[in-house]
Amino acid sequence: MTVKLMQGNAACAEGALVAGCRFFAGYPITPSTEIAEILARELPKVGGKFIQMEDEIASLAAVIGASVGGLKAMTATSGPGFSLMQENLGYAAVTEIPCVIVDVQRLGPSTGLPTAPSQGDVMQARWGTHGDHPIIALCPSSVPETFFLTVEAFNFSEKYRTPVILLMDEVIAHMREPFDVSSNSMVEIVDRMRTDVPPEWYFPYDETFSDVPPLVSFGEGFRYHITGLLHDRAGYPTERQDEINPWWRRLFAKIERNREQIVMYSADGVEQARTVVIAYGATARSAAHAVKMARVKRYKVGLIVLKTIWPFDESLVESLAASAHRVIVPEMNLGQLALEVERAVGRSKVTRVNRVDGELISPRQILEAIGES
């Protein structure tokens, strides 16, 4: 065992390198800048490329291009930059180009306070782009988890041909915790599916049994088209309903049919709990301590920590909280994921604990809500 005191942003950069990331394009923005700084130094050592772009729009565009060229690619930003990336995020979703977008959330809206934490981008991660498309968003609550979820973000992106968002927050990004760096060699690495058909038979958006067609990199002798317009199986624009509708169904099916593999969470003591706390990110740390204190006071309290934010599994949350009389959702926002929890368990059962002043929700705040329920 080799233990190192590691920062959250450093764990993210390390996870990206272990996952096989070989291209990073970004624009410096607090509190994500350390990710770019580390990868600017480390990527050339493994044959990778780092480019500082002129803005966040160009950053994600470059990442998409690198992925089409065959590289595992990532960018990192915070709320304002994430807003600028939304058009290209939708483009990556509709063209099914694997890429990873790290959003280290900070207090907003607008410029907000760059050094203060927030969880205000939860709904933007799901609904920030125009139109309909599925998305995967993961949320770590510790430094080691940041490493492992970064690897999973790349794995999901490559496996399902989709952009994946790692939704961090300033607290997790800048805190330091012990991390066993020898565990790097134990993680599973997933690469995109290749094709075994000749170039003249290849269709980049074809119907497949897995709903995920193979992706061949540009420059390997396979000629195909990529467009943000609705397209046929060859990638060319189309208005034919018999081509559009099957493609739409497949786009969503590749996520929905694999929901059990994508949705990650931990549950503690929910079976007999009268009160269940549902938390994520840095707030989950406060929630865990609050639950511990509540149990000392003989409260029957359970804890659910969501590691996958999107897709949100309503049936899972409903079943885990079925025996509870009250569900508490603490968030550093005015109640974004709480809306989804209310849809799953009923609005009358949900108590919100919110904070938007740039301070982390304390265990005492959550404990008081438990005592009132």
Query: May I ask the CATH architecture of the domain 265-372?
Result: 3-Layer(aba) Sandwich (3.40)
* CATH entry, 3-186, from 3.40.190.10, 3.20.20.10, 3.40.50.300, 3.40.50.970: 3.40.50.970
Cα–Cα distance for residue pair 134/125, rounded to 1 Å: 11
Placement of tokens 């920590």 in the chain: 305
Enumerate the H helices of the chain as residue ranges.
8-19, 33-42, 56-68, 79-84, 86-95, 122-127, 143-160, 170-174, 241-256, 259-262, 283-296, 314-320, 337-345, 363-372
Cβ atoms of 98 and 161 within 8 Å: the answer is: yes
Mean pLDDT in each 10-residue stretch from start to end of the chain (373 residues)?
92 97 97 98 98 97 97 97 97 97 96 94 97 96 97 98 98 96 85 91 92 93 92 94 94 96 97 96 98 96 98 95 95 97 96 96 97 78
Q: Tokens in use for 292?
A: 């511990």
So what's the pLDDT on residue 55?
Answer: 97
Domain with CATH 3.40.50.970 in the chain: 3-186
So what's the pLDDT on residue 96?
Answer: 97
So what's the pLDDT on residue 185?
Answer: 74
Q: Tokens in use for 201?
A: 């038979």
**Measured torsion, CA atoms of residues 57, 234, 68, 28, in degrees rounded to the nearest 10:** 10
Q: What pTM, to 2 d.p., does this model score?
A: 0.96
Domain with CATH 3.40.50.920 in the chain: 265-372
Q: What are phi and psi of 129, to 5 degrees?
A: -85, 165
